[in-house]
Amino acid sequence: MDMTNQFQEYARLLIEVGLNVQKGQDLVIACPVECAWFARLCAAAAYDVGCREVVMNWRDDALNRMKYLRAADEVFDATPAWQAEFLNGYARKGAAYLSVSASDPENLKGVDPDRLVRQQRAGSKALADFHRLQMNNGFPWCVASIPIPSWAVKAFPGCGEAEAMEKLWGAIFEAVRVTGDGQAVSRWREHVDTLQKRVDALNSLNLERLHYTNSLGTDLTIRLPEGHVWSGGDGAAATGQRFVANIPTEEIFTAPLRDGVDGVVYASLPLVHDGNIIKGIRFTFRDGRIVEAQADEGEEQLKAAISLDEGAARLGEVALVPYDSPISNQRLLYYNTLFDENASCHLAFGQAYAECIRGGEKMSKEELLSAGLNDSITHVDFMVGTADLSIVGYTRDGREVPIFVNGNFAL
Ligand code: ZN
Ligand code: ZN
């Protein structure tokens, strides 16, 4: 099957809608080495719209795994200065950042979780500017995916490699609305407008809290900060440049009150985190903090992930995705959070997005904290949506409003 048209349409979509690359702007592409041919298509699309220079940040699963298993132990406590300057420098000058996320979901299985934690702590210190500017929309960024064989065979077990790759390409093209007719850019502008209508409806409610229940056993209350803002579709960088941070995206999200979460929540899908699969997650919250974390598989990795820092055991995002939505209806477990989180209502533990509170992008770290937003070096989405999920909203003027009934928007 010749998919040349789809590949080009997809690359154009990421450059023109995902990042909306401007004339004279630099572009950094982080991409697995297997996908070099696709990075070249994206680079060409960027130069077509006047990009100044495309700079590569190559990734490789095999070398990454080798490093975690075989590198000298002190390596995991530091990030080389040149690497920090590379990412921080481009972030400070507002370069566009494309991350092509494609990995074997179990690439780091068997790696010492302590090495993962230490590396993340060291990285967050060295890359503080990059992470802060990303969470505050200081530069336009976009996360997207293309298949690699080690991932495709996990999403389509029982298929040979070539068949799995073809199936995963098909699923991804459907999820990102690329058909090969050259119209993906205009389909996306429409999609972003549709999401915006839902955002407006939620913002007009001025909610005080949400109450989640379903048959898995979830019974969770999430209070929302005063002045919280629901967001979805596209966002604006500091310069006003519109961009879509995730392609695909189906979610409407905001920030919970960091000490206002109580009850129990059960994850509805497995989570791929740091090269490990974590299954059967359940959390108990008290005053915003996870006081009990369990998993049927990967509990050690889960506990390591929420112990990175104080904010890692608190929520930073609450996101709504209808059970009846395009990616969810594929009924495919992608083993890649970019897709799985857009098939399901989700929450994230760790850092909140500054845009989720009125005026947040201009606030300091301390101001965001005192407004009730969580602060952490991590941000990990996990899926909680089910076909029978109920979410009841309570407004600040005392009204009770059904937000989700039987897994879908009731608004
Ligand atoms: Zn989200
Ligand atoms: Zn998230």
- pLDDT at position 256: 98
Determine the distance separating the centroid of ligand 1 and the alpha carbon of 346, expressed in angstroms: 7
- pLDDT at position 355: 95
> What is the residue-averaged pLDDT of the chain?
96
Ligand nearest the Cα of residue 316 is: 2
**Phi, psi (rounded to 5 degrees) for 292:** -145, 130
Determine the distance separating the centroid of ligand 2 and the alpha carbon of 73, expressed in angstroms: 31
Determine the distance separating the centroid of ligand 1 and the alpha carbon of 383, expressed in angstroms: 9
- pLDDT at position 301: 95
Tens digit of each residue's pLDDT (9 = 90 or more) over 118-156:
999 999 999 999 999 999 999 999 999 999 999 999 999
Tens digit of each residue's pLDDT (9 = 90 or more) over 249-295:
999 999 999 999 999 999 999 999 999 999 999 999 999 999 999 99
Determine the distance separating the centroid of ligand 1 and the alpha carbon of 164, expressed in angstroms: 27
2 has a pLDDT exceeding 90: no
Determine the distance separating the centroid of ligand 2 and the alpha carbon of 317, expressed in angstroms: 6
Give the CA count within 13 Å in the CB-facing half-sphere of 342: 21
Q: Which two tokens stand for residue 47?
A: 């130069």
**Phi, psi (rounded to 5 degrees) for 176:** -100, 10
The rounded distance, in Å, linking the Cα atoms of 8 and 189 is 18
As residues whose CB is below 5 A from the ion ligand 2, the structure lists 317, 348, 381
- pLDDT at position 241: 96
- pLDDT at position 1: 67
Q: How far is CA 111 from CA 83, 114, 272, 400, in A?
A: 23, 9, 14, 48
Q: Which of 218, 237, 244 is nearest to 346 (CA)?
A: 218
Q: How many CB atoms lie within 10 A of CB 309?
A: 16
Determine the distance separating the centroid of ligand 1 and the alpha carbon of 321, expressed in angstroms: 9
Determine the distance separating the centroid of ligand 1 and the alpha carbon of 347, expressed in angstroms: 7
Tens digit of each residue's pLDDT (9 = 90 or more) over 46-90:
999 999 999 999 999 999 999 999 999 999 999 999 999 999 999
The rounded distance, in Å, linking the Cα atoms of 205 and 223 is 14
As residues whose CB is below 5 A from the ion ligand 1, the structure lists 251, 253, 319
Determine the distance separating the centroid of ligand 2 and the alpha carbon of 137, expressed in angstroms: 14
Q: Residue 382, exposed/middle/buried by CB under 10 A (0-12, 13-18, 19+)? A: buried
Determine the distance separating the centroid of ligand 2 and the alpha carbon of 378, expressed in angstroms: 10
Determine the distance separating the centroid of ligand 1 and the alpha carbon of 33, expressed in angstroms: 27
Query: Could you give the dihedral angle defined by the CA atoms of residues 120, 140, 362 and 233, in that order, rounded to the nearest 10 degrees?
Result: -100
Determine the distance separating the centroid of ligand 1 and the alpha carbon of 74, expressed in angstroms: 34
Determine the distance separating the centroid of ligand 1 and the alpha carbon of 341, expressed in angstroms: 6
Dihedral sign (CA 5, 251, 360, 368): negative
Determine the distance separating the centroid of ligand 1 and the alpha carbon of 159, expressed in angstroms: 30
367 has a pLDDT exceeding 80: yes
User: Mean pLDDT, to the nearest integer, of 291-304?
Assistant: 97
Determine the distance separating the centroid of ligand 2 and the alpha carbon of 381, expressed in angstroms: 5
Determine the distance separating the centroid of ligand 1 and the alpha carbon of 251, expressed in angstroms: 6
CB neighbours of 271 closer than 8 A, spacing ≥ 6? 277, 278, 279, 281, 337, 340, 380, 382, 383
Tens digit of each residue's pLDDT (9 = 90 or more) over 230-247:
999 999 998 999 999 999
- pLDDT at position 411: 86
Determine the distance separating the centroid of ligand 2 and the alpha carbon of 191, expressed in angstroms: 19
- pLDDT at position 65: 98
257 alpha-carbon distance from chain centroid: 20
Tens digit of each residue's pLDDT (9 = 90 or more) over 344-360:
999 999 999 999 999 99
Ligand nearest the Cα of residue 374 is: 2
23 has a pLDDT exceeding 70: yes
Q: How confident is the model at residue 165 (pLDDT cuts 50, 70, 90)?
A: very high
Of the chain, the percentage scoring pLDDT greater than 90 comes to: 98
